[in-house]
Structure 1
Amino acid sequence: MKNILLVCTAGMSTSLLVTKMNTAAVRLEVDAKINAVSEADLKNHIDGVDVILLGPQVKFLLGKIRDQAKSTGAKVEVINSVDYGTMNGEKVLKYALDLINNK
């Protein structure tokens, strides 16, 4: 199972994207656990995560979150702003899977 975590300021704007990513995962038959959390709550959810994707609005946190995730081996990247803005769950899911598979 792939463990994907989305992070934004409050974890709310990414929640809709998580729903769309879960729908895409079912359609593509991908075994994935996908969740969204706030940056402040990340420390409680970081263990066991394969990839952490940041909402474009918090891309300034990239370095800080990479440092937090260093010991976990999780990849940390920013979601493409067009894919985020259009809530393209399938594209974001495929991006996450590419990051996991190219560790």
Structure 2
Amino acid sequence: MEKKILLLCAAGMSTSLLVTKMIKAAEEKNIKVKIEACPVEQFNEKVNEFDIFLLGPQVRFKHTDLSNIANEYNKKVEVINMVDYGTMNGAKVLEAALKALNVN
């Protein structure tokens, strides 16, 4: 079953490169995932479409609020590790997301 991961950031720009690197890492490991990015303001309209939401470090202050909403839908919200985000380490971010979803 394909997992759906949405990266949330301030404007949706900085995460687009990370999404590309995560997709490449998933393809290399033959993992079926859908990965997209959008501004954090679109969270409410996307909450039904994705399994996990990854917050860019610049919007991590929204973690509690978004987690409270996501819990109602049985979804997860995680903050992307700042070092992995800064180095655009798609493989590590993908690995962390799949681990949070209990996917090996």
TM-score, normalisation: structure 1: 0.94
**Alignment match, 1:17:** 18
Percent identity, aligned pairs only, is: 50
Match of 1:28 in 2: 29
**Pairwise CA RMSD of aligned residues?**
1.1
Corresponding position of 1:78: 79
TM-score, normalised to structure 2's length? 0.93
Q: Which stretches in structure 1 are left out of the alignment for 5+ residues? A: none
Hey, what does 1:4 align to over in structure 2? 5
- Please identify runs of 4+ aligned residues in structure 1 that moved more than 3 A: none
Task: State the AA in 2 paired with 1:62.
Answer: H
In structure 2, the partner of 1:95 is 96
Q: C-alpha deviations, 1:54-93, integer Å up to 9, x for none?
A: 0011110001111221222111110000000000000000
How many residue pairs end up in the alignment?
A: 102
1:52-63 equivalences under 5 Å are 52-63=53-64
| Distance across 2 between alignment mates of 1:26 and 1:63 | 32
Amino acid at match of 2:20: T
